[in-house]
Structure 1
Amino acid sequence: MPKFKSSLSVVLFLLCLTYLTPDVFAQKKAKDLFKVKSPKIQFVRPDTTILIEYDEFNDESDAGKSINFSPKKELSIVSEDTTELDLGQQHIVEVSDEVLIDSSWIRIAGYYAIWDTRNINPYKMDGRQLKDTVDVVLYDPRSNRNYFMPLEKTPVTSRFGHRGYRWHFGTDIDLDTGDSIYAAFDGVVRINKWDGSGYGNYIVLRHYNGLETLYGHMSKTIAQPGQFVKAGEVIGLGGSTGRSSGPHLHYEVRYQGNPLDPENIYDFPDYLLKGQNFQITSALFNYYNKAKSGSSSSGRRTYYHTIRRGDTLSGIAKKYGVSVSQITKLNGMSTRSTLQVGKRIRVK
């Protein structure tokens, strides 16, 4: 009996296949094709009891740095970021009250927050408005903070003050083209620039003691913006570039952009500083009134020129803006007198 039922099932299946046409098969396949089963979505409640542990980041990885807001690198005199110092523009940077220079922490002036590689005076501060006396430590041997004269020899050819129709904001020191020019104090090069109508090739150094020094008319500049230099390090070579009628170094000392008479600080004939400390007061900048009005100083100053090989009376007269007759009269000589190399003659 079971065998009969099994045979009957087979027969019935064959009959069904006979009556089912290809169209029926096609319709059945189409229904199955477009029949979409709804997916079952199982909601999982997030486990908020697990906290992310940042300690797993490596300190040297980018991820570790992104969550660690304490800078590990030491501050420099310039700023925390010195990557743009050579772009020739002004940057306002964040600095602390003290900066690390050559393994020592030095307290600095607030205007160090401005780093400008184009403008000699970006600080916009009138020295006549100083209310307090600023005591500047020029050098400190105990802290290995020394000073160096800008040249090996320092014969002054033109001083700070009124010159003809304009004010001369520095001291001119005689030299020969190619002579080494030295950094006066430890510091950082802020400007290395060309000024065809004035300083020629010149460099401005910012020093840890709060002063800045400028070196003009160089034949070649060596130190570059952002470079730290020690006192006595060669920063350039002497020349006569820019507005200059002969080889010399135009040397300036500035405080917050305001020029100081270098001879208040230096004893150039004796090749040394006048003291270890220097006090800056508003009175040092009263010359601004004369500089703006164009009036000359009531004091008398004499100017001398050291004769070099190839010098002529007409060339010397042109350099200092005087006449040949004035030079001959001041020195009791004639226009035919022989100029002895190394001899000093008065020009003003």
Structure 2
Amino acid sequence: MLAPGQGQAQRRKVPEPKAKAGSAGKRKDFFRIKSPKIQYVRPDTTILIETKDLPDDNSDEAKSIFFNPAKKLSIVSEDTTTLDEGEPQIVEMTEEVLIDSSWIKVAGYYSIWDTRNINPYRVDGRRLRDTLNLQLVEPTKQRFARMPLRTTPLTSDFGFRGYRWHYGVDLDLDTGDSVRAAFDGVVRISKWDGGGYGNYLLVRHYNGVETLYGHLSKALVAPGTFVKAGQLIGRGGSTGRSTGSHLHFEVRYEGNPIDPERMYDFPDYKLLKDNFQITSALFEYYSKALRAKAVAKQRSASAASAARRMVTHRIRSGDTLSEVAQKYGVSQAQLRRLNGNVKTLRPGKTLRIK
């Protein structure tokens, strides 16, 4: 028999010692929070639009433009410990998170957090009605900008390329070169995309901009990691759909790709300005992209149709022009016209019928 209160004392858990700040092997992340107070909110549906299917493969790259994911956003129904489980969530919170010695309101910075989908926002940038002024550099708050590579030779621009739109720029590098964060922020995605980006990282920044780093040989940071501008986050490579070592670099706002050359002067290795304006005009290229895709699809269909209309015959020993013409129901004159006025049929050669 136990003395009164002894059982309760034995069942009481001993509190675990708190980890010291800056302990070795511990990464700095944004999950150190004050006691939260959560208010469930209804998303603004005035700017949500239906998902559009792109006629490409199922890679993250192909699914990253404007209207994805197809799954509808749901209202958060659990506490904030689920924020890193990969599902899109919308939260409004009075709590703040500690990021590099600064307490930042979650409602303004992590309103949607998704560690799987590049574009969980489903916002069409062409519908923006206001001009948004973003501060890219804020020296008073010790927030700066850096280039993603030590040198930035541009090998491919933003725009239509081949049969699809290229939603970033390609920067030349050697496999293993250091890839660095463009601004302060938190890693939202670290993932493999075999049919597109290969190993890639996506970082969410203070100013609402997100940057994507594709075709890495190795990612060095995990989702939730706070990174400073210029911090090493990966190694360059040629993974995924790539024909050679390079960095595919994207700049996005609410999932909408922006031409990085509107923000960066790559040859001179610097930002064009310390601030940046977001307007609907930045995203008018998407209408052009849709038209270009439609034209490419039509040309492909025309070529396939022309191929289907062409009929050929493999000549065998003993074939004569009259027998081939009779077999396919065409005249000998037509066979001669389509085959350079052929007179002698050589076995193994191809004879065009129509």
Contact 1:108 1:209 in 2 (8 A): no
| Counterpart residue identity of residue 183, structure 2 | F
CA offsets 1:300-322 (integer angstroms, 9 cap, x no match): xxxxxxxxxxxxxxxxxxxxxxx
Count of residue correspondences: 225
CA offsets 1:186-208 (integer angstroms, 9 cap, x no match): 11111011000000000100000
Find the aligned partners of 1:129 and 1:109 in 2 and give their Cα distance: 23
When Rg is computed on C-alpha atoms for both structures, the one with the higher figure is 1
Find the aligned partners of 1:184 and 1:81 in 2 and give their Cα distance: 31
Tell me, what secondary structure is at the counterpart of 1:142?
Answer: helix
Note the C-alpha offset of 1:111.
7.7
Note the C-alpha offset of 1:101.
3.0
Matches within 5 A, 1:71-82: 72-73=34-35
Change (3 A) 1:256 1:93: same
Tell me, what secondary structure is at the counterpart of 1:224?
Answer: coil
Find the aligned partners of 1:181 and 1:121 in 2 and give their Cα distance: 22
The answer to whether 1:156 aligns with 2:138 is no
Change (3 A) 1:111 1:150: same
Change (3 A) 1:202 1:72: closer
Query: Structure 2 residue aligned with 1:168, among 145, 166, 169?
Result: 166
Query: Structure 1 residue aligned with 2:198, among 193, 197, 200?
Result: 200
Contact 2:92 2:106 in 1 (8 A): no
Note the C-alpha offset of 1:92.
3.3
Tell me, what secondary structure is at the counterpart of 1:117?
Answer: coil
Find the aligned partners of 1:205 and 1:130 in 2 and give their Cα distance: 23
| Counterpart residue identity of residue 181, structure 1 | V
Q: What residue is the counterpart of 1:146 in the other structure?
A: 144
Query: Structure 2 residue aligned with 1:94, among 92, 95, 98?
Result: 92
Any stretches of 5+ residues in structure 1 without a counterpart? 1-59, 62-70, 297-348
Matches within 5 A, 1:209-224: 209-224=207-222
Q: What residue is the counterpart of 1:133 in the other structure?
A: 131
Note the C-alpha offset of 1:87.
3.2
Find the aligned partners of 1:168 and 1:109 in 2 and give their Cα distance: 32
With the length of structure 2 as denominator, give the TM-score of the two structures.
0.59
| Counterpart residue identity of residue 278, structure 1 | F
Note the C-alpha offset of 1:257.
0.4
Q: What residue is the counterpart of 2:113 in the other structure?
A: 115
| Counterpart residue identity of residue 128, structure 1 | R
Find the aligned partners of 1:284 and 1:109 in 2 and give their Cα distance: 26
Find the aligned partners of 1:108 and 1:285 in 2 and give their Cα distance: 27
Tell me, what secondary structure is at the counterpart of 1:87?
Answer: coil
Tell me, what secondary structure is at the counterpart of 2:121?
Answer: coil
Q: Over aligned residue pairs, what C-alpha RMSD do you find?
A: 2.8
Contact 2:36 2:95 in 1 (8 A): no
Q: What residue is the counterpart of 1:279 in the other structure?
A: 277
CA offsets 1:253-278 (integer angstroms, 9 cap, x no match): 00000000000000000100011100
CA offsets 1:106-160 (integer angstroms, 9 cap, x no match): 5788583211111100001000000000000001112100111000000000010
Find the aligned partners of 1:253 and 1:133 in 2 and give their Cα distance: 18
Find the aligned partners of 2:234 and 2:94 in 1 and give their Cα distance: 31
Change (3 A) 1:249 1:125: same
Find the aligned partners of 1:171 and 1:277 in 2 and give their Cα distance: 20
| Counterpart residue identity of residue 178, structure 1 | G
Change (3 A) 1:262 1:148: same
Find the aligned partners of 1:207 and 1:224 in 2 and give their Cα distance: 15
Q: Quick one: percent identity of the two aligned structures?
A: 66
Note the C-alpha offset of 1:181.
0.4
Contact 2:34 2:97 in 1 (8 A): no
| Counterpart residue identity of residue 174, structure 2 | D
